[in-house]
Structure 1
Amino acid sequence: MEKLRVLLLTLLCHPLLSHGGSAITFKTQDGSEEWGYVQVRPKAHMFWWLYRSPYRVEDPSETWPIILWLQGGPGASGVGIGNFEEVGPLDTNLKPRNSTWLRKADLLFVDNPVGTGFSYVEDQKLFVKSDDEAATDLTTLLAEIFNNNESLQRSPLYIVAESYGGKFAVTLALSALKAIEAKTLKLILGGVALGDSWISPEDFVFSWGPLLKDVSRLDDNGLQKSNSLAQKIKQQLEDGKFVNATNSWSELESVIMSSSNNVDFYNFLLDSGSDSATLSAMKLGLSREIAIRQYSKYLTLRRKSPGGDADLDTLLNGVIKKKLKIIPENVTWGGQSGDVFTFMESDFMKPRINEVDELLAKGVNVTVYNGQVDLICATKGTEAWLRKLKWEGLQNFLNKDRTALYCGSNKSTKGFIKSYKNLSFYWILGAGHFVPTDQPCVALNMVGSITNSPQNN
């Protein structure tokens, strides 16, 4: 079976290898895939993988978009999770995904920050400690990929993020805009999409207790304990004690797990540890040091994918590593990801609402989307931080009515959308934390609208 997979993955895949001053790139012979490493700083290596869409519209009057997918964690792999579990061309069984986002755009997956997935550092001092440091590295990577490729420069880039990736997305967008203005980065920024994103940790921790009480998962005692710890976190954030706030967040999740009989933080209708597609698709093997942190649960547990004969860790370190050819022998996919989280503890609970405000003020298209039954980044918390925006169009946005969303011939309500000027919000019904996995049809339609894909017309 493995030999067959290697054959399928390497078909028409004779390497065209190129070396830059700080980069190494591998291409398939037909140009449909390209991947490589960029040394974003000395001894700090970031891995990326670009898929060109077979559905691309070759019309001079149309622009075909590129989506940069940023995973959360911090420490979760976009090359692994976003690619094989959510929106890439193949699923974890290496079978074609009918709902791949390649139907609407080219896809660029990056293992960000350095140390995540196949990305790695040669010295622990090189791990990033903040969202801004991660954005600087990502801007360096984008310059290496885009600046000498006129074809890519013609396609608008949409940064689409999930979970903690939302914080990376808004800081990257601002960093990229500065680099574009300074003419050190040649690309068109089409917009930013924040999926179930950890933009305001304070608002999320305050949403958990009331939400779970409303759905009968907590009683009054559990609600009191939850709200008390949320208030403690708020005070720690106000006092600038960010590492303490991260520790209290971990404590709060443990209290909620205990009081709710192990509610699933990625779908509050389920128990943690159930064999739902969402849970089994997302849990990976990483450092035990962060195993108590339920938010990073999909970093800390090895789970088999539905219908698969191997977990994601086995797939990436096996057949995929063989296909890619350029992964150093001593680099294990996910081997440094636990350290990524640890080094970012002081930034983990910091909000990025101001960055969203700045993007809106600059006229950047910002889309927010949220799964209905997500808990970790609950819709209730997302709506709370949205109301804190200082953007001049906020009141008009809030006053607008929503429009219902449907998908295909099924006329049941799949979600709602509200838009005003350059801000849009999607409420995705029936989805947990991983919207493309839980509601692939409506997610695909949504991303087509976000990117103005010619395939969406």
Structure 2
Amino acid sequence: MREEARTMVATRSTTSRRCLTWWWLACCCFVSWVASSSWTAAACVAVTSLPGFDGPLPFSLETGYVEVNESTGVQLFYYFVQSEKNPDLDPLLLWLTGGPGCSSISGLAHEIGPFQFAAKRYYSGGLPIIIYRPETWTKVSNIIFVDSPVGAGFSYAATEEGSKSSDTNAVKQLLIFLRKWLHDHPRFSLNPLYIGGDSYSGMIVPTLTLAIDESNGSEEKPFFNLKGYIAGNPVTDYKIDEDGRIPFLHGMGLISDELYEHAKETCGEKYSAPSNAQCAHSVQAINDCTKDINRGHILEPLCEELQSPIHNTAARDVMSRLMLESRPAAADDDIIIFECRKASRVLLKIWANDETVRESLGVQKGTVGEWKRCNRDIDYNSDVRSTVEYHLTLMRKGYRAIIYSGDHDSRVPSISTQAWIRLLNLSIADDWRPWYVDGQVAGFTRSYASNNLTYATVKGAGHTAAEYKPKECQEMFARWISGTPL
């Protein structure tokens, strides 16, 4: 019966499918609200339009809360976008943004989601304009963007105790979130499930994936149709990640041979915790030499940070310095070309703090004061120091995974990521080779253990890759999720 329903939906016209989508969202929201009358917030809202977007949204968007701790009142906020291809058959991806404490709307608006900020020239005040992003991963997948841990984005706790979190606590709450969300959205319970995220989420994604696998061995429902996970520019092991930074800087020509060789000799290639004075001196000399390099992307300018909302002329002048005019040859002359990517983050901050935007998203009044892209003030304990063993366990269990790096990222260098992948001691199925988009080299890739693990670099990308190379990353994801080699 379920397969017949899926076939019927798949054969409908685009218009009919969109109507069915909105009906289904509204129905799910109503049922969730009735079933969860004890919650402090309605479960979800079907969003058909957004301030700053011209006309109805060309994609289905649902937002809402899921209570993950009743005693402390922890509510995790989410954005759910259905696949534009076939939501009933396409995979379901739970996406987490790094931090810890960064809002998942960063992934939605800056990386893999279906909209982005735009303007004809410099920003001069008012509500920022948003437009559709054609490189969205929702072309081939349903995606739940979750504000996690509590305190990130619009997620909140009703008590002070509930505001405290950690890696392990975040994983426990995300498992509860996913179980409750699927209970309220049974339509997607059989879709292939993937867990994904980038940056600091490299500590959460494999940990959560393994927790879901272990949950499937219990009697708790629903059963998760878990297939694998995705980690971009992932923080994985603090020592390994840091030990790869200096070789990366040398390989990119940012430090001299002499400086590198002295550090290599005195530190024994272990730079994360200098064991002697000479090593410490070498590391400090390298840090002094590269302190003005943009760590997120070594080729891009290191820009000043603009924290405050743009209410005055001086602040708008700063904003203007962070932007360039639209390129005349651009396919869409509304798209801003940012001289500094922090400018787009400022636009996001202005947009997310607008009351009409919050109302459209269904954000509960009085729960979150000023929205921050990354909340650095959360009470959080990073109690997972390495996830290498989690990756190894998941590989042994046969789960699929793709790990990717921007090759100009010095925060989590590709050298570091390749180093811990080698520790897994997996057999190579397809050795190092270029992969292509539109006939051009988009990066390099290697696959392991009968294609269970794929590693890829994204040429010219930084931290995180999809923000710099959206087209290439979308193509990478679409091929991998369909089982096609890069």
State the partner residue of 2:442.
Answer: 414
Write the letter of the residue equivalent to 1:40. Answer: V
**Is the Cα–Cα contact under 8 Å of residues 113 and 128 in structure 1 kept in the other structure?**
no
- State which of 379, 394, 398 in structure 2 corresponds to 1:359: 394
Write the letter of the residue equivalent to 1:25. Answer: A
**Is the Cα–Cα contact under 8 Å of residues 111 and 118 in structure 1 kept in the other structure?**
yes
> Deviation per CA, 1:39-97, whole angstroms, max 9, x where unpaired?
21122221111111232266xxxx3111211111111111x210011111111241000
**Is the Cα–Cα contact under 8 Å of residues 243 and 272 in structure 2 kept in the other structure?**
no
- In the TM superposition, 1:27-426 aligns within 5 A as 27-28=45-46, 32-41=60-69, 42-56=72-86, 63-78=89-104, 80-93=105-118, 94-186=130-222, 187-219=224-256, 220-221=258-259, 231=270, 233-234=272-273, 258-273=288-303, 285=307, 306=337, 311-318=347-354, 319-331=356-368, 332-334=370-372, 337-340=375-378, 343-344=380-381, 346-347=382-383, 350-389=385-424, 394=426, 396-397=427-428, 400-408=430-438, 411-420=439-448, 421=450, 422-426=452-456
> Deviation per CA, 1:253-281, whole angstroms, max 9, x where unpaired?
9875532251111112234228xxxxxxx
**Is the Cα–Cα contact under 8 Å of residues 230 and 252 in structure 1 kept in the other structure?**
no
Write the letter of the residue equivalent to 1:111. Answer: D
Cα–Cα, structure 1 residues 261 and 406, in superposed 2: closer, same or farther, change >3 Å? Answer: same
Write the letter of the residue equivalent to 1:206. Answer: D
Structure-1 separation of matches of 2:358 and 2:268: 43
**Is the Cα–Cα contact under 8 Å of residues 407 and 461 in structure 2 kept in the other structure?**
yes
**Is the Cα–Cα contact under 8 Å of residues 247 and 260 in structure 2 kept in the other structure?**
no
Q: Are 1:26 and 2:44 matched, yes or no?
A: yes
> Deviation per CA, 1:302-354, whole angstroms, max 9, x where unpaired?
x77746896211111114312113333341323882123x522x537x11101
Secondary structure in structure 2 of the residue aligned to 1:45: strand
Structure-2 separation of matches of 1:162 and 1:313: 20
Cα–Cα, structure 1 residues 181 and 95, in superposed 2: closer, same or farther, change >3 Å? Answer: same
Q: Which runs of 5+ in 2 are unaligned?
A: 1-21, 49-58, 119-129, 309-321, 324-335
Write the letter of the residue equivalent to 2:42. Answer: I
Cα–Cα, structure 1 residues 268 and 137, in superposed 2: closer, same or farther, change >3 Å? Answer: same
State the partner residue of 2:461.
Answer: 431
**Is the Cα–Cα contact under 8 Å of residues 193 and 366 in structure 1 kept in the other structure?**
yes
Cα–Cα, structure 1 residues 148 and 214, in superposed 2: closer, same or farther, change >3 Å? Answer: closer
Structure-2 separation of matches of 1:234 and 1:389: 23
Structure-2 separation of matches of 1:216 and 1:153: 50
**Is the Cα–Cα contact under 8 Å of residues 68 and 160 in structure 1 kept in the other structure?**
yes
Structure-2 separation of matches of 1:229 and 1:269: 29
Write the letter of the residue equivalent to 1:81. Answer: S
Cα–Cα, structure 1 residues 29 and 383, in superposed 2: closer, same or farther, change >3 Å? Answer: closer
Q: Structure 1 length as normaliser, TM-score?
A: 0.76
Report the more deviating stretch, 330-339 or 195-204.
330-339
Report the more deviating stretch, 101-110 or 221-230.
221-230
Cα–Cα, structure 1 residues 209 and 352, in superposed 2: closer, same or farther, change >3 Å? Answer: same
Cα–Cα, structure 1 residues 230 and 138, in superposed 2: closer, same or farther, change >3 Å? Answer: farther
Structure-2 separation of matches of 1:234 and 1:65: 42
Cα–Cα, structure 1 residues 380 and 51, in superposed 2: closer, same or farther, change >3 Å? Answer: same
**Is the Cα–Cα contact under 8 Å of residues 154 and 363 in structure 2 kept in the other structure?**
no
Q: Which has the larger radius of gyration?
A: 2
**Is the Cα–Cα contact under 8 Å of residues 206 and 390 in structure 2 kept in the other structure?**
yes
Cα–Cα, structure 1 residues 43 and 285, in superposed 2: closer, same or farther, change >3 Å? Answer: farther
Structure-2 separation of matches of 1:123 and 1:213: 48
Q: Which runs of 5+ in 1 are unaligned?
A: 1-11, 237-248, 275-282, 287-302
**Is the Cα–Cα contact under 8 Å of residues 194 and 369 in structure 1 kept in the other structure?**
yes
Secondary structure in structure 1 of the residue aligned to 2:172: helix
